Amino acid sequence: MNHYDLIVVGSGPAGRRAAIQAAKLEKSVLVIEKGRRVGGVSVHTGTIPSKTLRETALNLTGWRERGFYGQSYRVKQHIDAADLHQRLLITLDHEVQVLEHQFARNRVQQLHGAARFVDPHTLEVTREDGELQRVSGTSILLAVGTKPYRPSHIPFDGEAIIDSDELLDIDTVPRSLVVIGAGVIGIEYASIFSALDTQVSVVEPRSTMLDFIDREIVEDFTYQLRDRNMKLIFGQTAEKIEREAGGKCRVELNNGRVLHSEMVLFAAGRVGAVGELNLEACGLEADSRGRLKVNPETFQTSVPHIYAAGDIVGFPSLASTSMEQGRIAARHAVGAPASEPPQYFPYGIYAVPEISTCGLTEEEVIARKIPYETGVAHFRETSRGHIMGLETGLLKMIFSRKTRRLLGVHIIGEGATELVHIGQAVLNLKGTVDYFVENTFNYPTLAEAYKIAGLDAWNRMDQGPREAPVATAQSLDSALQAMKKAASS
C-alpha cells in the first residue's frame, strides 16, 4: 500500500490548491478524484460553466451594445443550445489541461475513483475499472464539495425539470423558465436566461433575496430585473411541480397560483458530498446538510490529522475562498507556517447585471451603531460609461465618520466583479476616504467611479485642515458635480 504525506480527496479549488501547496513544500501528495476529469464542481458544473454561459449569452445577444443600438439589437438572431455548448466545451477543456499540467509539473499523483475511509489513516478507492486500491496518508484533506439538493417530491427528469448540473446539458434554450430558489445560483441563471429572451419567473419562499448584499444594490437589481419583465415571486413555495400531457411544466404555488413553463430549474441549495466517504470509519460526523465542522484557523476537523476545506465546510462556499482554505489547510498539515485569511473577501454574483461587494453593508453598519457616510457614483457619470453606452451601474462606498476608514464597497453593473478589488485593497489596507480623493485614477475608466463616490462622501464629511487636491480637469468636474449634489440635498 502506498503511503503519502498528504492525501487530498477532491480536485476542486480547495483540493487543487492544497495539493500544489504541499507539493511545493516537497511533500508526497496524492489527489483522489471520482470524476472522470479533474477540476471539481468549479470546472465542470459550477463556476466556470456558468460564467462561460453568461459570457456567451452576453456576446451572442449583443447585450453590452444595446445602450447604443437599442433593445432589439442582436449579434445572432437565433441562439440555440449548440451555440451555448460550443464555447463551454472549449473553456472546460482548457481549464482541465491547465490543471493536469500543474499537477504533473509539481509531481502531484492522481488516482481516479471514489474514496472511502477504512480507518482514520487509510482510504479505499474504487477505481474506474472496478478494482479496489488502498492508500494511506499522514494527513488527509477532505475537499469533496457539494451536490445539488434534490428533495424526493420534485419529479426531476433531466430534461424539463432539472437541477443546476443538468442545466448544462439542455438541448434547447427554453422560451419560458421557472426558477425555484432566489439564491445565487437561481438568480444568476434566471438573469442569464432572461438576457437570452427567455420569459423567466423566480419563486422564493422568503420575502427577500440575497440578504448578505447591501439593500440599495438589491433594490436597484430587483428594479432592473422587473423592468425587463422577469417575474419575481417572493413569499411563495412551489407546492407541486409536474409535466403536463403536452410536455409543458406546471408549477402550483402555495397560494393557488399556477405557472406554466417549458422548463423548471430547481436551485434551492446544495448539500455536502459526504455520502460515499464512510465517515464513521474515521470518527467524523457531518451535520444535517452534509457539512463538516472545522477549526476556522487551521481547517482541522475534530480528528486532528484530517482536514476539510471548500464547500464541505459551509459558508462562504466560493471557489475563491475554497482555494485559500485549501492552501492554509495544506500548510498546517505539513507543519509550514500559515497566515490567517484576511478579514474581508470579495463576493461576486455573476448575474446580468453583475454585483460585487466587499466589507460591511449599510445595514450592518447601522446595526453596529457606527456613525457613517456613504458616497455613490453612477456609471453614467463617468466618461467610460458614456463611451460604453451604459445606462445603469452604481458604485457605493461606506465610510466611518470617526476614523474616515472605508467600511464597505458595493457595486452593481458592468465590470463590478473586477472593480471591487480596488475597494477590497483599500479596505484590507485600512485606507480612508482620503485615498480616493487624493489619488489620480486612469481616465476614462469605470474605476473613476471610485473617485466620484469618494468625493461624494468627502463633501459631507468633516474635512479638517485638508483640501481636496484636484488632479485633472475631469476630477474637478466630478468634484463640482458632487459639491452641487451635496448642496442641493
Ligand X SMILES: Cc1cc2nc3c(=O)[nH]c(=O)nc-3n(C[C@H](O)[C@H](O)[C@H](O)COP(=O)(O)OP(=O)(O)OC[C@H]3O[C@@H](n4cnc5c(N)ncnc54)[C@H](O)[C@@H]3O)c2cc1C
Q: Which does residue 143 bind out of ligand X, ligand NAD, none, counting CB within 5 to 8 angstroms by kind?
A: ligand X
Q: Which does residue 310 bind out of ligand X, ligand NAD, none, counting CB within 5 to 8 angstroms by kind?
A: ligand X
Q: Quote the distance between the C-alpha of residue 4 and its chain's center.
A: 33
The residue within the footprint of ligand NAD, chosen from 59, 298, 317, 463 (CB under 6 A), is 317
Q: How many CB atoms lie within 10 A of CB 299?
A: 28
Q: Is 183 annotated as a binding residue?
A: yes
Nearer CB in complex with ligand X: 14/422: 14
Nearer CB in complex with ligand X: 411/452: 411
Residues 101-160 that bind ligand NAD (CB under 6 A): none
What is the residue type of 256? G
What is the residue type of 278? N
Which residues contact ligand X by CB under 6 A?
9-15, 32-35, 40-42, 46-47, 50-51, 114-115, 143-146, 164, 185, 273, 276-277, 310-312, 317-320, 322, 348, 350
Residues 343-382 that bind ligand NAD (CB under 6 A): 348-350
For residues 135 and 141, is the Cβ–Cβ distance under 8 A?
no
Q: Residue 9: beta bridge partners?
A: 32, 142
Residues 266-305 that bind ligand NAD (CB under 6 A): 267-270
Q: Is 385 annotated as a binding residue?
A: no
CB of 409 to ligand NAD, least distance (A): 17
Q: Which does residue 251 bind out of ligand NAD, ligand X, none, counting CB within 5 to 8 angstroms by kind?
A: none
Residue with cell 500500500: 1
Query: Which residues in 31-59 are b (16+ Cβ under 10 Å) and which e?
Result: bbbbbebbbbbbbbbbbbbbbbbbebbbe
DSSP code per residue over 164-226: TTGGGG-SS--SEEEEE--SHHHHHHHHHHHHTT-EEEEEESSSSS-TTS-HHHHHHHHHHHH
Nearer CB in complex with ligand X: 412/455: 412
Q: Is 184 annotated as a binding residue?
A: yes
Instruction: Give the interface size with ligand NAD as a residue count (CB under 6 A).
Output: 22
Residues 154-213 that bind ligand NAD (CB under 6 A): 180-186, 188, 204-206
- Report if residue 40 touches ligand NAD, rule: CB under 6 A: no
CB of 437 to ligand X, least distance (A): 32
Nearest to 423 by CA among 414, 413, 433: 433
DSSP code per residue over 307-326: EE-SGGG-TT--HHHHHHHH
Q: Which does residue 101 bind out of ligand X, ligand NAD, none, counting CB within 5 to 8 angstroms by kind?
A: none
- Report if residue 13 touches ligand NAD, rule: CB under 6 A: no
Residue with cell 475499472: 129
Nearest to 376 by CA among 473, 451, 470: 451
How many CA atoms lie within 13 Å of 458's alpha carbon, on the beta-carbon side? 27
CB of 112 to ligand NAD, least distance (A): 25
Separation CA 420–CA 422 (nearest Å): 5
Q: Helix %, strand %, coil % for the chain, to 5?
A: 35, 25, 40
- Report if residue 55 touches ligand NAD, rule: CB under 6 A: no
Q: Which does residue 448 bind out of ligand X, ligand NAD, none, counting CB within 5 to 8 angstroms by kind?
A: none
Nearer CB in complex with ligand X: 4/399: 4
Closest-by-Cβ residue to ligand X is 145
Q: Is 262 annotated as a binding residue?
A: no
Separation CA 468–CA 102 (nearest Å): 48
Nearer CB in complex with ligand X: 20/482: 20
Which contacts qualify for 252-258: CB closer than 8 Å, 24 or more apart?
253/203, 257/233
CB of 144 to ligand X, least distance (A): 4
φ/ψ (deg, to 5) at 337: -65, 145
Interface with ligand NAD (CB under 6 A): 180-186, 188, 204-206, 237, 267-270, 316-318, 348-350
Binding-site annotation, residues for FAD: 51, 311
Binding-site annotation, residues for NAD(+): 181-188, 204, 269
Binding-site annotation, residues: 51, 181-188, 204, 269, 311
